């Protein structure tokens, strides 16, 4: 029971660290004072099973996947056009996590988007087209309606394209948009008028 609680807390802390590191000032402070990326790389190194002198396998579990996500987020600064963030969930099947794990620099190039690698913008899959509608709009209600319409259209045409990880990415972008648009906040802050 203690082990399950500690794994849950570690996973929660990694998620929190992932959010906190989105602010560049906070990331620089954490790097300067605590060398956060070195700590995460060392934790990834401890999660390696050495099968022979030349072959090493990562133990893939929820914590190593979460660390991998945070390390990519910390080390490749940019948006969805500059970097590819690996998913935070394991998939069913023979290869539960097809993204490469790492425990040292440089990070694998597969986390850099095509735009960054060869400066050629390619959005040829339908899911990528759906994500394009997540650009900021002047009117939040129009933006939400546009996203809803595009999502429904895609689900009717190709329902198998939205996997669990794609849906998670879609929801993250949606929530990010809602939290960044303070002028027309979806959940406006209400001033408390009660007595203490």
Is the distance from CB of 111 to CB of 83 less than 8 angstroms? yes
Angle at 112 between CA 140 and CA 181, to 5 degrees: 15
**pLDDT at residue 69, as a whole number:** 92
Is the distance from CB of 92 to CB of 116 less than 8 angstroms? no
**pLDDT at residue 67, as a whole number:** 92
Q: What is the DSSP string of 13-74?
A: HHHHHHHHTTSHHHHHHHHHHH-HHHHHHHHHHTTEEESSSS-EEE---HHHHHHHHHHHHH
Whether pTM exceeds 0.85: no
**pLDDT at residue 123, as a whole number:** 34
Rounded-to-integer distance, Cα 184 and Cα 188, Å: 8
Quick: pLDDT tens for 7-26.
Answer: 778 888 898 998 898 888 89
Residues of the chain with pLDDT under 70: 1-5, 51-56, 115-144, 159-166, 175-190, 192, 194-196
Domain boundaries, the chain: 1-120, 123-196
């Amino acid at each position: 029971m203690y082990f399950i609680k500690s794994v849950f807390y570690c996973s929660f802390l990694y998620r929190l660290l992932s959010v906190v590191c989105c602010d560049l000032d906070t990331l620089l402070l954490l790097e300067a004072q605590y060398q956060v990326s070195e700590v995460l790389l060392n934790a990834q190194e401890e999660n390696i099973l050495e099968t022979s002198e030349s072959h090493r396998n990562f133990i893939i579990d929820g914590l190593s996947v979460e660390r991998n996500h945070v390390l990519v987020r910390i080390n490749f600064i940019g948006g969805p056009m500059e970097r590819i963030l690996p998913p935070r969930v394991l998939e069913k099947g023979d290869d539960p996590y097809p993204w490469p794990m790492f425990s040292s620099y440089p990070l694998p190039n597969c986390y850099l988007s095509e735009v960054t690698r060869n400066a050629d913008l390619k959005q040829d899959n339908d899911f990528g087209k759906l994500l394009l509608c997540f650009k900021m709009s002047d009117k939040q209600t129009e933006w939400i309606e546009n996203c809803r319409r595009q999502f429904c259209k895609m689900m009717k045409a190709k329902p198998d394209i939205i996997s669990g990880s794609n849906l998670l990415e879609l929801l993250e972008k949606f929530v990010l948009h809602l939290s960044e648009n303070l002028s027309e906040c979806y959940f406006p802050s209400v001033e408390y008028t009660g007595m203490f």
